[in-house]
């Protein structure tokens, strides 16, 4: 069979679906303020499906050629989303590992359908139907008021210092001078210092980040073994990488720290500190995005706990 693909078809396949995808991203993220299954699952499937149909409507091209063309929609839609200030670069990069296999699935469906159904209008009709349904699915997801899953992240460090000294630095610690490391260097918020007003249950602890303070009323004060607190206010979890001076995406409100605690105990003359954060995020698929959230929170814990370790061990040596 003759390969009907042309440079014009390649350009159309790489550009037309991302235009529709950008409009859907604007509707979901900026208007409905919902980051659900439709946005992160169906939109990539739609991109792969419609792009491959445009590129090879009769399925005459190989699947791999169709997939490569479909993958061109990723930089195109990414550029458009950043151009119109819908999202920042880091969030787009984080979404790519999820989007690529979904685009491949959509492309596979578009490659198979012309081989099963001789009517070329079938694939185009399905593509338009999916495009028509997605705004309604987004609105339905946005109306869902079910409680998000609470996630728990625990990080542990061992400190060669008395538990009483460690407790004091857990309650409030001096400024962390080193620049953030690892994933925190990519624009995610990182802790700077902590202070407390009052003592015991009802005291207010302020854990200050580069984006602002976490306000933490103390709920359990069992000196020197357990400090627990709620989180009633928190700053933005990240600073978006964007060509614009400021970009505030709605998802920055959806990663919420609910409460936290520090548990201290001694083993073999050393103090063990367990830092725990309980958080939620209203972003789907929850399992996928929690992989990133867990790692970010672990890195925040490490930054604080290793700073406390350094401060305590230096004071013991002196």
Question: For 216-251, what is each residue's pLDDT tens digit?
Answer: 999 999 999 999 999 999 998 988 878 877 776 777
Q: Are 312 and 168 in a shared domain? A: yes
Task: Return the beta strands (E) in the chain as ranges.
Answer: 151-159, 191-197, 204-209, 212-222, 226-230, 255-267, 270-281
pLDDT band at 28 (very low <50, low <70, confident <90, very high): very high
Q: Is residue 311 part of a domain?
A: yes
Mean pLDDT of 133-146: 92
Q: Is residue 18 part of a domain?
A: yes
Q: Are 188 and 215 in a shared domain? A: yes
Q: Is residue 42 part of a domain?
A: yes
Residue 144 clears pLDDT 90, i.e. is over it:
no
Q: How far is CA 181 from the centre of its chain?
A: 18
Q: Are 58 and 101 in a shared domain? A: yes
Distance separating alpha carbons of residues 244 and 251, to the nearest angstrom: 17
With H, G, I as helix, E, B as strand and everything else as coil, classify residue 233.
strand
**Cα dihedral sign, 276-279-285-289:** negative
Q: Are 231 and 289 in a shared domain? A: yes
Residue 175 clears pLDDT 70, i.e. is over it:
yes
Q: Are 163 and 308 in a shared domain? A: yes
| Entry pTM | 0.90
Output the pLDDT for position 1.
Answer: 44
Q: How many structural domains comprise the chain?
A: 2
Q: Which residue has the tokens 């200050």?
A: 208
User: End of a domain among 125, 143, 161?
Assistant: 143
Mean pLDDT of 182-189: 91
pLDDT band at 4 (very low <50, low <70, confident <90, very high): low
Average pLDDT for the chain = 92
Q: Is residue 205 part of a domain?
A: yes
Least trusted range by pLDDT, from 19-28, 86-95, 165-174, 195-204: 86-95
Looking at the DSSP assignment, which residues form a beta bridge with residue 197?
Answer: 204
Residue 212 clears pLDDT 80, i.e. is over it:
yes
With H, G, I as helix, E, B as strand and everything else as coil, classify residue 218.
strand
pLDDT band at 299 (very low <50, low <70, confident <90, very high): very high
Least trusted range by pLDDT, from 113-117, 205-209, 273-277: 113-117
Q: Is residue 129 part of a domain?
A: yes
Q: Are 200 and 85 in a shared domain? A: no
User: End of a domain among 86, 109, 143?
Assistant: 143
Which tokens go with 209? 């980040």
pLDDT band at 318 (very low <50, low <70, confident <90, very high): low
Q: Which residue has the tokens 């991302």?
A: 18
By residue range, what is the domain housing residue 289? 151-317
Residue 266 clears pLDDT 90, i.e. is over it:
yes
């Amino acid at each position: 069979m003759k390969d009907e693909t042309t440079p014009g078809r390649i350009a159309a396949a790489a550009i037309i679906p991302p235009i529709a995808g950008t409009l859907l991203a604007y509707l979901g993220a900026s208007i409905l303020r919902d980051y659900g299954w439709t946005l992160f699952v169906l939109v990539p499937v739609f991109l792969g499906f419609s792009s491959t149909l445009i590129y090879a409507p009769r399925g005459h091209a190989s699947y791999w050629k169709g997939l490569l063309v479909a993958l061109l929609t990723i930089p195109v839609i990414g550029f458009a989303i950043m151009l119109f200030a819908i999202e920042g670069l880091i969030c787009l990069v984080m979404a790519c590992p999820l989007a690529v296999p979904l685009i491949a699935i959509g492309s596979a469906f578009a490659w198979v359908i012309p081989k099963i159904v001789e009517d070329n209008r079938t694939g185009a009709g399905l593509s338009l139907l999916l495009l028509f349904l997605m705004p309604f699915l987004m609105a339905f997801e946005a109306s869902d008021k079910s409680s998000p899953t609470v996630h728990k992240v625990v990080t542990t460090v061992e400190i060669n210092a008395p538990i009483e000294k460690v407790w004091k630095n857990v309650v409030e610690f001096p400024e962390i001078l080193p620049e953030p490391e690892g994933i925190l260097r990519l624009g995610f918020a990182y802790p700077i210092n902590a202070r407390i007003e009052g003592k015991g249950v009802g005291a207010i602890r302020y854990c200050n980040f580069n984006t602002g303070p976490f306000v933490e009323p103390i709920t359990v004060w069992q000196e020197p073994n357990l400090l627990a607190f709620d989180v009633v206010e928190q700053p933005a979890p990240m600073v978006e990488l964007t060509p614009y001076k400021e970009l505030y995406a709605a998802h920055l409100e959806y990663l919420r720290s609910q409460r936290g605690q520090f548990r201290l105990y001694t083993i073999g003359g050393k103090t063990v500190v367990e830092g725990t954060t309980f958080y939620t995020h209203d972003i789907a698929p929850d399992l996928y995005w929690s992989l990133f959230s867990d790692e970010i929170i672990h890195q925040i814990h490490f930054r604080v706990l290793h700073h406390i370790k350094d401060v305590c061990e230096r004071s013991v040596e002196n």
